[in-house]
Amino acid sequence: MPTDTMPQSKPMKLVVTGGAGYVGSVCAARLLEAGHEVTVVDDLSTGHADAVPDGARFVEGDAAETARTLLADGFDGVLHFAAKSLVGESMQDPGKYWHGNVLTSLRLLDAMRAHGTPRLVFSSTAATYGEPETAPIPESAATRPTNTYGATKLAIDHAISTYARAHGIAAVSLRYFNVAGAYGRFGERHTTETHLIPIVLQVATGERDQVQIFGEDYPTEDGTAIRDYIHVTDLADAHLLALEHARAGEHQIYNLGNGTGFSVRQVIEACREVTGHPIPAAVAQRRAGDPAVLVAASDQARQRLGWKPERTDLAGIVADAWRFTQDHRAAAHPA
Ligand code: UFG
């Protein structure tokens, strides 16, 4: 795997919660390649044990409960990925999100405080903004989440700000836009898939007959919703930079996206080109809570972290996801 463009920093001893999940596993792999010592904590409720990268220590268990014991050993920081992250589910079962996301994060913050763990990098989300008033969205935009998932992540961001100030924790929240692509053997494989690119690729593999386009009456050029797709490796590298730039007592918040939006139809077209499959599509109702356009202004991350996304081409992002999908299917169903 390429390591040439990887951010360099002094080796740290780190806990990665949710390191058996999609973004967490890619980040854990990049951290190891950069020379850090990584302990993955994951309850495997949505992650996969075989996604924990080689070289990481793996402890199976609840993020907060396990960290409470682990952190006593003295760690330089925590990267907190473990979370419930399905928007639809968060509306049907809000308690699962308030307990699973907010309570767990508060307990983790308390454990960090108790053991003097100095750094935290937190996976926040564009869903904290809700329906945006401007595009692209800067960090100064109003935060009015339209779903429980975004509300829980925003509540955690508020808690982190106060803990950072009061207890000197060096904290960085990264607000992800639409994460896509894969890195080596690490990629997106959810039991319940709701994300556009993996669903479209499932049509190409024959697992689904067609993709549904959720709404064609948005105020956009082709009528379908626009999102900012960011390669998971670029996203992971922002975490490495965040660790380096975290400052005691400060809570920095950065949006992470490419700053370019693609419509649902453009994504499907890119998948057709990459896979060579016709990918039938049918227009369906809008999905509740979906904003028309979500595009990031990531100038802050570029200026203050020195972050520069390297893999911004949509076809390239889709090609990496497609290679991962094919490799994973071949491993799951050997010929
Ligand atoms: N879509 C379809 N058909 C599908 C699936 C999705 O048309 O089968 C559409 C959605 O309606 C949306 C777009 O494709 O317009 C992208 O949908 P995703 O489900 O892939 O991603 P979201 O934009 O809904 O949400 C993702 C993350 C959130 C994050 C958000 C920020 O899941 O956590 O990006 O941009 F907050």
The pLDDT tens digits of the residues spanning 163-191 come to: 999 999 999 999 999 999 999 999 998 88
If one residue of 101, 227, 228 were mutated to test the ligand 1 pocket, choosing by the most ligand atoms within 8 A of its CB, it would be 227
Nearest-atom number in ligand 1 for the CA of 211 is 8
Q: What is the residue whose two structure tokens read 């991350």?
A: 301
pLDDT for residue 136 is more than 70: yes
CA of 195 relative to ligand 1 center, distance in Å: 5
Mean pLDDT (whole number) for 235-250: 98
Rounded distance between C-alpha atoms, residue 328 and residue 207, angstroms: 13
- Bigger pLDDT: 119 or 91? 119
pLDDT for residue 4 is more than 50: no
Mean pLDDT (whole number) for 261-272: 98
Percent share of the chain, pLDDT over 70: 97
In this prediction, residue 2 carries a pLDDT of 43
CA of 261 relative to ligand 1 center, distance in Å: 12
In this prediction, residue 290 carries a pLDDT of 85
Mean pLDDT (whole number) for 288-308: 94
The pLDDT mean for the chain works out to 95
Percent share of the chain, pLDDT over 90: 88
CA of 138 relative to ligand 1 center, distance in Å: 20
pLDDT for residue 315 is more than 70: yes
- Bigger pLDDT: 229 or 287? 229
Rounded distance between C-alpha atoms, residue 286 and residue 292, angstroms: 10
DSSP β-bridge partners for residue 265? none
Q: Which residues contact 317 (CB under 8 A, 6 or more apart)?
A: 180, 181, 197, 229, 231, 311
- Check: CB of residue 160 under 8 Å from CB of residue 171: yes
pLDDT for residue 116 is more than 50: yes
In this prediction, residue 7 carries a pLDDT of 57
Q: In what order do the strands lie in the sheet with 293-294?
A: 262-263, 226-227, 293-294
pLDDT for residue 1 is more than 60: no
pLDDT for residue 137 is more than 90: yes
pLDDT for residue 245 is more than 60: yes
Is 183 an annotated catalytic residue?
no
- Check: CB of residue 172 under 8 Å from CB of residue 246: yes
CA of 260 relative to ligand 1 center, distance in Å: 15
In this prediction, residue 335 carries a pLDDT of 64
Mean pLDDT (whole number) for 41-60: 97
- The C-alpha torsion from 229 through 224 and 150 to 322, rounded to 10°, is -40
178 exposed, middle or buried (CB, 10 Å; 0-12, 13-18, 19+)?
buried
The band of 6, judged by pLDDT with boundaries at 50, 70 and 90, is: low
Nearest-atom number in ligand 1 for the CA of 128 is 36
Closest Cα to atom 25 of ligand 1: 178
- Comparing 64-68, 157-161, 202-206, 271-275, the range with the smallest average pLDDT is 64-68
Closest Cα to atom 20 of ligand 1: 195
Rounded distance between C-alpha atoms, residue 128 and residue 243, angstroms: 22
In this prediction, residue 85 carries a pLDDT of 95
pLDDT for residue 139 is more than 60: yes
Give residue ranges with CB within 6 A of ligand 1.
Answer: 85, 87, 125-127, 177-178, 194-196, 199, 211-214, 225, 227, 264, 287, 290, 294
Q: Which residues contact 41 (CB under 8 A, 6 or more apart)?
A: 15, 16, 17, 18, 19, 59, 60, 61, 63, 66, 67, 70, 82
Mean pLDDT (whole number) for 85-106: 95
pLDDT digits (tens, 9 = 90+) for 57-66: 999 999 999 9
CA of 98 relative to ligand 1 center, distance in Å: 21
pLDDT for residue 329 is more than 90: no
The band of 218, judged by pLDDT with boundaries at 50, 70 and 90, is: very high
Q: In what order do the strands lie in the sheet with 251-256?
A: 57-60, 37-42, 13-17, 77-80, 119-125, 170-176, 251-256
In this prediction, residue 191 carries a pLDDT of 82
If one residue of 230, 264, 267, 286 were mutated to test the ligand 1 pocket, choosing by the most ligand atoms within 8 A of its CB, it would be 264
Q: Which of 97, 129, 149, 163 is catalytic?
A: 149
Rounded distance between C-alpha atoms, residue 102 and residue 96, angstroms: 10
